[in-house]
Amino acid sequence: MNILAEELNSIIEGSIVSNLLSDFGKRFYFPKGIVAQSGEAKKKATRFNATVGMATSNGKPMFLNSVRNQIPELSEVDAFPYAPTPGVPELRSKWREEMDQKNPSLAGKETSVPLVTSGLTHGLSVLGDMFLNKGDTIVFPDMFWGNYRLIFEERNQADIVTFPFFSENGGMNIEGFEKALTEAPGDKISFVLNFPNNPTGYTPSVDDGNKIIEMLLKLAKSGKKILAIMDDAYFGLFYEDESLKESLFGKIADLHENILAVKVDGVTKENFAWGFRVGFLTYASKNLSSEALGALTTKTSGAIRASVSNSNKMAQSLVLKSFSSNTYQSEKDAGFIILKERYLKVRELVESFNSESPLKALPFNSGYFMTFLYEGNSEKLRVYLLNEYGIGTISIQSKYLRIAYSSVELEKLDELFTIIDKAAKEVL
């Protein structure tokens, strides 16, 4: 094992981090190679800096005017150079401030400074590498984003365990969640919760959120070592008053020494910047020292370095500059209003379906989606809708049909859902 990894491992020894790291995570470190040496030179090389593999002219990065002319409001330095592997420092700090504003229960609690990842998928992939060995168990609700299977099951060869997402009363099935965590083999257990959920568009109530926290605390006190991953891809898109309005990360951050909380989020949906691929990864645990958080951040930076080297500098600069715009919040609010109007219309339409409809809506109250349970074969329905009506939907497990109403104009929703209901009867 590299001596740098050994040094980092000695810092985290005895903490929850050392109990949870995979073999990969234990081996990893940030090398004192080109990137580190270049960083040192940037501070001290006052005469010549011949370290970075980047072409410069007159002290600025070289560029093509055909590109430069497209981004007149960004300086060359903000657009063209490499970003630091952990991300642009000012953006990382600003995102942490934003997290406090959006999650009141997090304010004042110690976390790592968010690391910039190349989108949320990259963040989840890095976490899988850092914490999951072959055969480790990771728990999700049975309604989960399909890419989890590629990341955790195929890439990391972990064993996926699911529980029925909804209880009989239509809320989150917390008893099933607890059962899945309790019955997982060994003391180490990982899980991912994604609210608003993809594919159902559901967020639990404040009361259910508190029950989840109580359950996790009980398991941690019993000796379980828990990696708690909050996939907050659709954070902020909460349309009902009773829904939990902040990430569970805030309360889990200092819940117990046996829980390492991780928040994976980004600008993808929150700031309507899907193609920017700017995500963030943040760690926290009760009584975890600043040194241990720093060592974990360094290890994770090494994993980022080994995968994408660094994330897009231009996109990070654009996001950072957007925060200083005096219209930033009002623009986000306007986008939220559009999506909430679509949600309310979809709820009205779904509730108007008669009792004979073969489509039953699963609970939904947030995010981009809603999902039907179909009495027939949802894959056949999906293909029929596509071929006969030119309508694209997503089939899941051959019995669920996901509708992304986020991508359909308000005035078109009535027609869309009328056809879906009609087609469901025709296929059945």
Residues 271-292 pLDDT 10s: 999 999 999 999 999 999 999 9
Q: Which of 258, 110, 252 is nearest to 193 (CA)?
A: 252
Cβ partners under 8 Å of residue 295, min gap 6: 8, 9, 11, 12, 17
pLDDT score, position 401 = 98
pLDDT the model gives residue 46: 60
**pTM attached to this predicted model:** 0.94
- In this prediction, residue 354 carries a pLDDT of 86
Terminal-to-terminal C-alpha distance of the chain? 60
**List of the chain residues with pLDDT < 50:** none
Question: What's the pLDDT at 32?
Answer: 83
**pLDDT at residue 60 in the model:** 86
**Secondary structure (3-state) at 288:** coil
Kindly state the tokens that stand for 335: 């986008």
**Counting Cβ atoms within 10 Å, is residue 96 exposed (0-12), middle (13-18) or buried (19+)?**
middle
How far apart, in whole angstroms, are the C-alpha atoms of residue 182 and residue 380?
A: 37
The answer to whether 237 and 269 are in contact (CB under 8 A) is yes
Q: How far apart are CA 289 and CA 293, in angstroms?
A: 6
Determine contact, residues 17/260, Cβ cutoff 8 Å: yes
- CA distances to 22, 71, 100, 226 from 257, rounded to whole Å, are 18, 47, 22, 10
Pairwise CA distance, residues 196 & 202, whole Å: 5
Instruction: Check if the beta carbon of residue 238 is closer than 8 Å to that of residue 195.
Output: no
**Any residues with CB less than 8 A from the CB of 340 and at least 6 apart, and which?**
239
Identify the structural domains of the chain with CATH numbers, from first to last. Answer: 3-30+85-323 (3.40.640.10), 329-427 (3.90.1150.10)
Q: Tell me the residue length of the chain.
A: 428
Contact 271, 332 (CB under 8 A): yes
- Is the peptide bond prior to 104 cis by the omega test (within 30 degrees of 0)? no
In the chain, the amino acid numbered 275 is G
pLDDT confidence of residue 373: 97
Instruction: Quote the CA–CA distance of 76 and 88 in Å, as a whole number.
Output: 15
Picking from 172, 152, 155, 156, the residue whose alpha carbon sits closest to that of residue 164 is 172
Indicate the SS3 state at residue 360: strand
Q: What is the C-alpha to C-alpha distance for residues 280 and 115, in angstroms, rounded to an integer?
A: 5
CB atoms inside a 10 Å sphere around CB 195 = 25
Instruction: Tell me what pLDDT residue 169 has.
Output: 86
- Residue-wise pLDDT tens digits, 372-413: 999 999 999 999 999 999 999 999 999 999 999 999 999 999
